[in-house]
Structure 1
Amino acid sequence: MTHTTVPRPEYPRPQWVRPDWINLNGPWQFEIDHGRSGKERGYQEIGHELSGTITVPFCPESKLSGVEYKDFMAGVWYKREFTVPESWKGRTLLHFGAVDYETEVWVNGVSIGTHRGGYTPFSFDISPQMTPGANVITVYAEDDVRSGRQPRGKQSERYDSHGCDYTRTTGIWQTVWLEHVPEAYLSDMKVVADPDNACVHLEVTVVGKALGGKLTAAALYDGKAVGDASALVSGPSVKLTLPLEEVHLWEVGQGRLYDLELSLQEQGKTGDTVQTYFGLRSVRLDGMAFRINGRSIFQRLVLDQGFYPDGIYTAPSDEALRNDIEISMGLGFNGARLHEKIFEPRFLYWADRLGYLVWGEHANWGLDITTTEGLSHFLPEWLEGMERDFNHPALIGWCPFNETWDRDGAKQNNEVLRIVYEVSKKIDPTRPVIDTSGNFHVVTDIFDIHDYDQNPQTFKERYEPMKDGGEVYNSFPNRQQYEGQPYFISEYGGIWWNPEQQDEKSWGYGNRPTSEEDFLTRYAGLTNVLLDHPRMFGFCYTQLYDVEQEVNGLYTYDRKPKFDPDLIRSINLRKAAIED
């Protein structure tokens, strides 16, 4: 029930699809509330009109929003009318993909709930507040990236972008939509692939009165029925195992996906039905190797920041999300660290479809974790992100924190990292967890470091002793201890190259190459050190594309290649020493 003129018209949640939905993207009333006093002034009331307009889901800092206000905004207000079809009986759910950062929502002037966290989805059953005909949604969001009390990622704490921090995102930045569901409905699912036993294990959550009903799961591969299972509903959580008649493994570059239909039957009648999918693959650590479906796969990763010139945090189109993966794969990378941001679900959908490895990471920069108070501002949102993305086969590991530097002379509270690691392992024992990428490790399944040495020779010498079981290079020996884990360089390179952008704001790592040939020689030298190392299971190059003033991408910010992609591809695709 969408229209082609609606921005970002595609269904926003491809792992949980229903036919009856209304996309609320497009023009909304909008107003900036610098004094955070709008509630006192009655902005939430039905009759109050906001002074401006904005195009949702683009943040007000972006060009695509039509606002393009780049200064700090303490609070922002949104308002729009909606109607639903008379055929929508049962419940109406209001969904937000992401709103940065603390949000309150009203329907017809009645507050229906709040949410804290700028990167994860939330929803409300708005049926009790709705009236026949037109209804009004009002949204208020507060955002303060300088507070130390919220994860901001790469959003600049200064007025201007600088270094590796970029334009901020305030308020709504993912799709808003309405969805029709029956009184009893399926709210979410957790799927654990079990290729060795030719099955998947499902745990489905049911909302509403469905006791005595039956949940049925039917799997298809390439349109052919390959398995089904059912279970009686005896509580809010239904568990069942779905045997598969055919095993098609999800692999790197081969995103083989099964379609899955879930249906809830009550008194012999089919009620709620959901279309979803899954991939059949396993991941495990084995000595120094990272195995996918039992094979040692060298992870040729690239750093992806998830920024866009015209949409900032929000891709201008679904095609733009897919394009970022395709240009990466065209360069010979097989995956990415999704860096300092929880990416939108449709990016992960395309990763699933294309067989592209990704690491899930939170936007921890800006959050003070020198005391345990930081845990209360991090863990709830991190768990929401894990729950949202658990079922993506492309996601092969979690990394809640990145570079947990000291703050104003105070060190990280190690218990914050330890607790987040341990809770993450409890929630998902199927994937490895890196406690904090680069530094300072406390307890981790993988020991990774960041190394931006621009000299291939000294870069090689640093890791040479490891080849024969000698000393392992530890970038911060006084702050972290290597305990025999698998090891890789999860940030390197960052070679500063963009001849067309050399103003005083330009930023990159190390000395600039003098020519394209100099760049490619350095790139090959650094990359070959890692490919040839028998104790490295992967690398992650910084970065895929430039972002604003940071000009160390292999592509420009507007996604134009700086070099012949085939030259980069030929370097990246050499067989690695650790590969099967």
Structure 2
Amino acid sequence: MTHHEDIPRPEHPRPQFVRAEERWLNLNGSWQFERDPSDSGLERGLVGRELEGSILVPFCPESELSGIGDPDWHEAVWYRRTVELPDAFPEGDRVLLHCQAVDHDATVWLDGVEVGRHRGGHTSFTLDLTDALAGRRSATLVVRARDPRHEPLPRGKQATWFANTHCQYTRTTGIWQTVWLESVPTAYLERPRITPDANVALDLDATVRHGRVGQRVRAVLSDDAGQVAVAETPVGLQMVPRLRLEVPEDRRRVWQPEDPHLYGLTFELLDAGGEVVDRLDSYAGLRTIAVEGHKVLLNGRPVFQRLVLDQGYWPESLMTAPSEEALVRDVELGLEAGFNGARIHQKIAEERFLHHCDRMGYLVWGEFPDWGVSGQGPAGHNQKPGATFVAQWVEAVERDYSHPSIVGWCPLNETHQYLHDRFTVLDDVTQAMYWATKGMDRTRPVIDASGYSHRVPTTDVWDSHDYTQDPREFAQVMGGLAQGRPHTNTGENTGSAVPGAPDYSTPYAGQPYFCSEYGGIWWVPPQERTEEDATNDEGESWGYGNRPADEEEFYSRAEGLTRVLDQDPRMFGYCYTQLTDVFQEKNGIYAFDRSAKLDMERVRAIFDHPSAYEAAG
């Protein structure tokens, strides 16, 4: 057995690229655990001794489901467990350790020997344990995770004050996604890249680690009727030539929200005699994203993007979904409310979440958790961590490149660029993250920074954030798009780090435009209100603007705001804030526990509404 139903999150964490079931081992479950508040554990010998407590992986120590539930700061934490290789792992195979996410700085030892390090709390990493195992079938795995409080790290929405405040939430430290082992042959396939081409073909870039001359890579595409296309190419010394799978016209079926068709796709590594050495089972969607003038086109047609802001937090497990069903349910909730996609906000989504978006036809904008939070963005207070942001973002784009549900990339969010200080490290980081994304992916639009300061003149998409609550005033704010004067987040930003300092953006150049944050209506049903819901003070229950007097006013306000956007023929979409309440932030369509707060038929009528953009063709 590679996993057991009595451990948390037992499903395969990388569903787009899967080896046979017997080739992987889920390491979730009970681990030894110890806090290291002064980060002195290495000097105190924690690598080589038993740890004092226990934790349920993959849940972080701040969460209830971990069995600890301590939301205080954790400068460093340690994990330890014995690893037994299953009998199904063949002798002579290589053994890989995969960590889906460890926040923030991870070091890994096997039987006291350091086998690798990784920096980045939201991105996956893989370490080869083969040499350290030296033929043994059992070993002790130790992981140290450091999460320094005073460094300006990419934290997303994790609070940099002690308590949850405003739109910052309980922190996550250490292991917070699945840890697993994989058995691979000496020469093996790494994660391939899948690129749809004009809805007629798939271009495939496969990578073979420790490949040998004489080996070949074969890719087979299939649908319900059987094999659709096959391609084969030799393995070179340094790289594998691109494979191209031409899809016959009578077998072409594009991926789109109303019909998210996925082809089966198999990658095989063949030896010189034609025997299969390694195999990955995968899937692909045939779809294109294009920018033409002010339009973003999906498969050559305008599809209005009715997005919802999804923070990806749960009460009992924080950034980790408590179960597979919880991931699926969030997609279902978005669809039931009338949205056709989400902006995954200040978080890199779990791979299994993106898998469900792929199969359920849910559009996604991939985003990097760049907030500090107190020093929002990559400049922070001392302007040092730019390279860290770029490196971790590149890892995220590479990991998620092949998901058809992802229709755009958003490296930064609400970064401030002040008029009196136009050229800063933030400029360099914004340019680097934008051009690194474009260099890695020429098939999707990239927005340099969502909201506030657009600093790349050639950015593919423009947007703004605006939480005006009066629909008539909102119409005036958003009304200049037809004249080439869209609303921008310039002028005085009262929430900026420098009060009164106006933001500065490069001039708008006619790019596709959408309001990527609006709404945020503060609503707590009267029967569920507590004393803290009576104020809008910092740290208490809150939402944007004044709370509606009653539920009817909520519907009226949400509908009025949304019509301003979906009835503008030059607006290609919107993103409503937000899918669920999160702790003190009570502006979700649903409650934090995913229960209904509103009449969902009425909510769906607001958001699933014909748009002028689609009608204009």
Task: State the TM-score bracket (shorter-chain normalisation).
Answer: over 0.9
Give the Cα separation in 1 of the matches to 2:356 and 2:298: 19
Q: Which residue of 2 aligns with 1:361?
A: 367
Question: Match of 2:148?
Answer: 144
Shift of 1:235: 2.9
Matches within 5 A, 1:200-211: 200-211=202-213
Label 1:141 to 1:363 Cα distance change in 2 as closer, same or farther (>3 A).
Answer: same
Question: In 1, distance between residues paired with 2:384 and 2:191?
Answer: 30
Kindly indicate whether residue 59 of structure 2 is the aligned counterpart of residue 58 of structure 1.
yes
Contact 1:257 1:279 (8 Å CA) reproduced: yes
88 and 470 in structure 1: CA distance in 2 versus 1, 3 angstrom threshold = closer
1:253 matched to 2:266 = no
Q: Answer whether contact 1:374 1:416 (CA < 8 A) is retained.
A: no
Match of 1:263 among 268, 279, 295: 268
Q: 1:459 aligns with which of 474, 483, 497?
A: 474
- The equivalences for 1:16-55 within 5 A come to 16-19=17-20, 20-45=23-48, 48-55=49-56
* Contact 2:378/2:386, CA 8 A, preserved across alignment: no
Return the letter of the residue paired with 1:424. T
The one of 169, 180, 186 equivalent to 1:166 is 169
- Partner of 2:47, secondary structure, is coil
**Equivalent position to 2:114, from 106, 111, 115:** 111
Describe how 1:342-353 pairs up with structure 2 within 5 A.
342-353=348-359
* Corresponding residue of 1:479: 504
1:315 paired residue number: 321
Secondary structure, aligned partner of 2:478: helix
Partner of 1:224: 226
2:130 is matched with which residue?
A: 127
When residues 380 and 515 of structure 1 are mapped into structure 2, their CA distance, relative to the original with a 3 A threshold, is same
Q: Does 1:76 align with 2:81?
A: no
Alignment size in residue pairs: 574
User: How far apart, in 1, do the equivalents of 2:487 and 2:235 lie?
Assistant: 54
Check the 8 A contact 1:454/1:522 in 2, yes or no: yes
Partner of 2:203, secondary structure, is strand
CA distance in 1, matches of 2:460, 2:317: 35
Cα distance per residue 1:213-249 (max 9 Å; x no partner): 1111011112621111101111342211112231110
> CA offset at residue 381 of structure 1?
0.6
Q: Is the 8 A contact 1:195 1:247 kept in 2?
A: no
Q: CA deviation at 1:156?
A: 0.4
Cα distance change, pair 54–303 in 1 and its aligned pair in 2 (3 A): same
CA shift, 1:414, in A, is 1.2
Contact 2:75–2:149 at 8 Å: present in 1 too? Answer: no
What are the residue-to-residue correspondences of 1:326-405 with 2, within 5 Å? Answer: 326-366=332-372, 367-369=377-379, 373-405=384-416
Q: What's 1:493 paired with?
A: 519
Structure 2 distance, partners of 1:545, 1:139, is 33
Distance 1:384 1:414, change over 3 A: same
> What SS class does the counterpart of residue 141 from structure 2 fall into?
strand
Offset of 1:518 from its aligned partner? 0.5
Q: Give 1:412 deviation, angstroms.
A: 6.1
**Contact 2:417 2:504 (8 Å CA) reproduced:** no
- Deviation per CA, 1:481-534, whole angstroms, max 9, x where unpaired? 212211110000000001324415102110100100000000000001101111
What residue identity is the alignment partner of 1:458?
E
3-state SS in 2 of match to 1:281: coil
Counterpart-to-counterpart distance in 2, 1:75 and 1:288: 48
- Structure 1 gap segments, 5+ residues each: none
Partner Cα separation in structure 2 for residue 214 and residue 473 of structure 1: 54
What is the deviation of 1:465?
A: 3.6
Residue correspondence of structure 1 range 230-309 to structure 2 within 5 A: 230-238=232-240, 239-245=242-248, 246-268=251-273, 269-309=275-315
C-alpha change, 1:28 and 1:338, in structure 2 (3 Å) is same
**Matched residue type, 1:436:** A
| Cα displacement (A) at 1:145 | 4.5
Q: 1:223 to 1:160 in 2, by over 3 A?
A: farther
1:264·1:272 contact (CA, 8 Å) conserved in 2?
Answer: yes
The offset of 1:191, in angstroms, is 1.1
Q: What CA distance in whole angstroms lies between the structure 2 residues aligned with 1:388 and 1:39?
A: 31
Structure 2: runs of 5 or more not aligned? 492-502
Cα 1:470–1:121 change in 2 (3 A) is: closer
- Per-residue CA shift, 1:442-461, capped at 9, x if unaligned? 11211100000000001112
Q: Match of 2:144, SS?
A: strand
Contact 1:145 1:151 in 2 (8 A): no
Q: Which amino acid aligns with 2:136?
A: P
Are 1:544 and 2:579 counterparts?
yes
* Secondary structure of residue in 2 paired with 1:464: coil
Distance 1:473 1:275 in 2: 46
Displacement of 1:399: 0.3
User: Is contact 1:255–1:352 with CA below 8 Å preserved after alignment?
Assistant: yes
1:156 maps onto 2:159 in alignment = yes
Q: What is residue 542 of structure 2 aligned with on the other side?
A: 507
Q: Does 1:424 align with 2:437?
A: yes
- The alignment yields a C-alpha RMSD, in angstroms, of 1.6
Work out the CA distance in 1 between the residues paired with 2:487 and 2:85: 61
Q: Structure 1 CA distance, aligned partners of 2:607 and 2:211?
A: 54
Whole-angstrom distance in 2 between the partners of 1:261 and 1:466:
46
> How far has the Cα of 1:56 moved from its partner?
0.2
Give the letter for the 2:438 counterpart.
Answer: K
The answer as to whether partners of 2:513 and 2:571 remain within 8 angstroms in 1 is yes
Contact 2:211–2:236 under 8 Å retained in 1: no
Indicate if the aligned counterparts of 1:191 and 1:200 stay in contact, CA closer than 8 A.
yes
Counterpart-to-counterpart distance in 1, 2:484 and 2:295: 18
Deviation at residue 550 of structure 1 after TM alignment = 0.2
CA–CA distance in 1 between the matches of 2:238 and 2:588? 47
Query: How far 1:372 sits from its partner (Å)?
Result: 6.1
In the alignment, the residues of structure 2 paired with residue 171 and residue 447 of structure 1 have an alpha-carbon distance, to the nearest angstrom, of 35
Counterpart Cα distance in 2 of 1:139 and 1:312:
21
Distance across 2 between alignment mates of 1:451 and 1:332 = 21
Deviation (angstroms), 1:472: 2.6
Give me the TM-score of the superposition, normalised by structure 1.
Answer: 0.96
Deviation at residue 144 of structure 1 after TM alignment: 2.2
Hey, what's the Cα distance between the residues in 2 that align with 1:312 and 1:567? Answer: 29
How many angstroms apart in 1 are the aligned matches of 2:11 and 2:596? 28
2:609 to 570, 574, 577: 574
Q: Which amino acid aligns with 2:299?
A: N
C-alpha separation in 2, matches of 1:373 and 1:205:
34
Q: Does 1:565 align with 2:600?
A: yes
Please state whether the residue corresponding to 1:388 is helix, strand or coil. helix
- Aligned to 1:275, the other structure's residue is in SS state strand
Conserved? CA contact 1:448–1:489, under 8 Å: yes
> How far did 1:470 drift?
5.5
- 1:498-537 matches, within 5 Å, as 498-499=524-525, 500-502=528-530, 503=532, 505-537=540-572
Give the match for residue 496 of structure 2.
none
Kindly, what percent of the aligned residue pairs are identical?
45
* Distance in structure 1 (CA, Å) of the matches to 2:469 and 2:35: 45
